[in-house]
């Protein structure tokens, strides 16, 4: 099942000529002039495609950050990223849970076409154990023909690296990041439960499984957020110095000093809430769960500060596109009592209400993305395959179900052509579906239930179903939803229509 023949080439907005000129800017761009560009202080990074640092939080809610209205949790670094670039108010994950959302990000396919449509599949895949669930569960994984952002960028000479959470490998030990477009991998894999938590006693360094002495025999000394950040800092430092680690070879088309793609996928603030500093929010009247949740976010924020400092120290900051997002909405399982989590949005992780799929996202790139800007344009994870293909002027692979966000990021346009965004969610049986086009969103929780209709511009909390008032809109959008779904061998729909 290879859907990468789907193409949105007509939506591409190429920068090849401009990047060859060393500016990366349109001469017609009203937002940024050539004189606004601050060149990198690292000579090896001049006149090349930008580095890309994509930072992904885990179960971070729409209302968890200061730049999205949170007044309790301190996130000065992430807030500064938003202030330095473009902040999206209407951005969506690829799905309401982790594995399919990450798959959508990596492949550019929405969940109606993607191989991975849920954390566990219904049939097929491979069996294995999941912590907290008795018996065996089934998972599927990305296959070699499922081309990823790593493949796309590595083919353009990028050094590609994933740090920490992969989560599209299922139980297949041959589906590691190194087998799906990444040159380097430091993190954990699904088939080894001991590697999953915040104080793991085993971890992977490329293909090597190694033990972490500080966390053996139940010790909680080496926090995963710190270790993952250390690994990312080391990678950025090596790229700044133009060296590769022992045992890693440059892929075809790569050379020392070439740009890098670092996919930094944190665990935080996913449960369990094992905060490193449990006293960080002491004395503020917060319940214990809320204190630990807030501390995990602030710890991640400070760690991102380390990444940004390393970019500056290596002279790479000005030529690096930085993106920050969350893989899905905030989780009810976190048990947070007083913090806003998903803000005014309805629902949680695992649901197709806005609280399950709308996520914070911001992007900054010195001299190319105007600081302090905001957009309400709907966009989602599948757009990044087309966006990065556009950025590096690659037509090697079809760009999937998304459109390029580059014109929006650089300010060449303030609006994208109106289109439909689509999601699927698979409960124990049946299928839940949601689709947004413009301000309108339809959602249906089971095949035999009626569609509900909401105007998100007027009713962000999805409180008033307008399906009976606007049946023609429901008809039009439901046709789009039905056309967006292709059957999956791993997720048959029960009951069948």
Q: What is the pLDDT of residue 256?
A: 63
DSSP 358: B
Residue 39 has pLDDT above 90, yes or no: no
pLDDT of residue 374: 98
In the block, tokens 């569960």 appear at 137
The fourth-level CATH superfamily of domain 48-420 is Alkaline Phosphatase, subunit A (3.40.720.10)
The whole-model pTM stands at 0.91
Q: Where are the domains of the chain?
A: 48-420, 423-484
Q: pLDDT tens across 252-307, in order?
A: 666 667 899 999 999 999 999 999 998 999 999 999 999 999 999 999 999 999 99
pLDDT at 47 over 90: no
Q: 48-420 and 423-484 share one CATH topology? A: no
pLDDT score recorded for residue 245 = 78
Architecture field, domain 423-484? 2-Layer Sandwich (3.30)
- pLDDT for 411 equals 97
User: Is residue 102 scored above 50 in pLDDT?
Assistant: yes
Share of the chain above pLDDT 90, in %: 81
Quick one: pLDDT at residue 243? 81
* pLDDT tens profile 237-264: 999 988 877 756 666 666 667 899 999 9
């Amino acid at each position: 099942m290879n859907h990468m023949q789907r193409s949105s080439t007509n939506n591409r907005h190429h920068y090849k000529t401009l990047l060859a000129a060393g500016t990366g800017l349109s001469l017609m761009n009203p937002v940024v002039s050539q004189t606004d560009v601050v060149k990198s202080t690292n000579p090896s990074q001049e006149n090349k495609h930008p580095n890309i640092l994509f930072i992904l939080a885990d179960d971070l809610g729409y209302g968890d950050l200061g730049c999205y209205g949170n007044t309790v949790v301190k996130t000065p670094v992430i807030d500064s990223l938003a202030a330095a670039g473009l902040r999206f108010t209407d951005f969506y994950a690829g799905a309401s849970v982790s594995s399919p959302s990450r798959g959508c990000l990596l492949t550019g396919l929405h969940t109606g076409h993607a191989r991975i449509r849920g954390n566990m599949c219904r049939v097929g895949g491979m069996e294995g154990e999941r912590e907290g669930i008795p018996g065996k569960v089934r998972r599927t994984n990305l296959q070699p023909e499922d081309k990823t952002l790593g493949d796309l960028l590595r083919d353009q000479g990028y050094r590609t690296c994933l740090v920490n959470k992969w989560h599209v490998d299922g139980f297949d030990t041959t589906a590691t990041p190194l087998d799906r477009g990444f040159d380097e991998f430091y993190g954990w894999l699904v088939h080894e439960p001991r590697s999953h938590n915040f104080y793991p006693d085993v971890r992977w360094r490329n293909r090597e499984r190694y033990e972490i002495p500080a966390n053996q025999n139940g010790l909680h000394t080496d926090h995963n957020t710190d270790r993952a950040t250390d690994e990312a800092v080391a990678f950025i430092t090596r790229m700044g110095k133009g060296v590769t680690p022992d045992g890693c070879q440059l892929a075809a088309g790569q050379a020392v000093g070439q740009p890098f793609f670092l996919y930094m996928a944190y665990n935080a603030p996913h449960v369990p809430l094992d905060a490193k500093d449990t006293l960080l929010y002491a004395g503020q009247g917060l319940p214990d769960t809320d204190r630990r949740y807030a501390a995990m976010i602030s710890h991640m924020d400070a760690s991102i500060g380390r990444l940004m400092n390393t970019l500056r120290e290596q002279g790479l900051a000005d030529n690096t596109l930085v993106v920050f997002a969350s893989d899905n909405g905030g989780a009810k399982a976190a048990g947070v009592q007083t913090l806003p989590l998903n803000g005014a949005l309805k629902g949680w992780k695992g649901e197709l209400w806005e609280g399950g799929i709308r996520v914070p996202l911001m992007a900054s790139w010195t001299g190319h993305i105007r600081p302090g800007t905001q957009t309400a344009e709907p966009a989602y994870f599948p757009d990044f395959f087309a966006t990065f293909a556009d950025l590096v002027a690659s037509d090697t692979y079809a760009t999937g179900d998304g459109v390029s966000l580059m014109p929006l990021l650089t300010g060449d346009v303030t609006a994208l052509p109106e289109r439909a965004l689509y999601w699927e969610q698979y409960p124990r049986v049946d299928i839940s579906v949601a689709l947004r086009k413009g301000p309108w969103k339809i959602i249906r929780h089971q095949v035999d239930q009626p569609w509900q209709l909401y105007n998100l511009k007027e009713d962000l909390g999805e409180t008033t179903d307008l399906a009976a008032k606007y049946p023609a809109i429901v008809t039009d959008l439901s046709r789009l939803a039905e056309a967006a779904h292709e059957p999956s061998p791993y997720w048959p729909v029960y009951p069948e229509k």
